[in-house]
Amino acid sequence: MRVLVTGGGGFIGSHLVERLLQEDHEVRVIDSFVTGQRENLTHLRDAELIEGDIQSFERVHNASRGCEVILHQAALPSVPRSIADPLMTNVVNVTGTLNVLLAARDNGVRRVVHASSSSVYGANLALPKVESLQPQPISPYSVSKLAAEGYCRAFSNVYGLESVVLRYFNIFGPRQNPRSQYSAVVPRFIVAALEGRQPTIFGDGEQSRDFTYVENVVDANVLAMSTPGVAGELFNVACGGRITLNEMVCALGEIVGAEIRPRYAETRTGDVEHSLADIGHARALLGYEPRVSFEEGLRRTVAHAAERLTSGAVSA
């Protein structure tokens, strides 16, 4: 099968490219490398690379020609980034997704698997998060992700394009950039711990997340692109467990063999207090099962980061 991975040079995208090549798919990547990194693809030379931005309809149209499936990972992530620049977040995440869907429709692509976010649940306090809950986004980022979901549903309904939406919950793992001011919490904390620095927790640390190792997300995407009868469906992708940031720091300290004493700061605007997924729908329809636990995923990620730091790489 020929598969296009948008954002294939990114953290999640490069792991997807690697798995698809292992399973003997023909893989094409489009990435602007604004947030993705070329080095994520250096060992994946069998993938065809098109350098370009999903903001360009022409680029996406050309990249998707002849493909059966698109795994749409390209996005401008981060709630704080979206608060700082909501216009660019909208252009990339909403207009970019519309470009992908239009190109898929015009080129006869069978299915688009779209990477969405648990942030769309926002201010809805119900736990666990079930796909049928009313979204209540509270940041420009989560609004952009919800809007993109709407376009996926519309293209399924109006044009018959198969779309499957995956709502990711706090994904972490190797190749996640820890150095950006918009980096996710797990890679930032890992590198701080390995370098003997204090990580900063925004809030009291009792906010909880359904941390999900990247390999589980790859499994979900592979299932979503090939499972029949799931067009138009929406799935949570997570582990179905809840861990506070304070608990995560303790687990990280045990792995690195040092006591970590975080610095606490004011809660950030747009942050959700608690997140926990119900993954029953994905289990029932996709056969999805998280194979890597949070603890095992954290050990693997720490080992990768330590290796990168030891080798003198700029980022872990």
According to DSSP, the residues that pair with 200 across neighbouring strands are 263
Q: Between the CA of residue 131 and those of 168, 236, 277, what are the distances in Å? A: 12, 7, 9
- For the chain, give the number of residues: 316
Closest CA relative to residue 208, chosen from 256, 176, 249, 254: 249
What φ, ψ does residue 117 adopt, rounded to 5°?
-145, 145
Structure-block tokens of residue 57: 């309809």
- 287: phi > 0 → left, psi -120 to 50 → alpha, else beta; which? left
- 273-302 residues labelled b (16+ CB within 10 A) or e (exposed): eebbbbbebbeebbebebebebeebbbbbb
Whether the Cβ atoms of residue 54 and residue 29 lie closer than 8 Å to each other: no
Whether the Cβ atoms of residue 205 and residue 252 lie closer than 8 Å to each other: no
> Judging by DSSP bridges, how do beta strands 234-237 and 162-168 pair with one another?
parallel
Whether the Cβ atoms of residue 33 and residue 238 lie closer than 8 Å to each other: no
Whether the Cβ atoms of residue 131 and residue 118 lie closer than 8 Å to each other: no
Whether the Cβ atoms of residue 42 and residue 62 lie closer than 8 Å to each other: no
In the annotation, is 121 catalytic?
no
Q: Which of 141, 151, 168, 213 is catalytic?
A: 141
Q: Could you list the active site residues?
A: 141
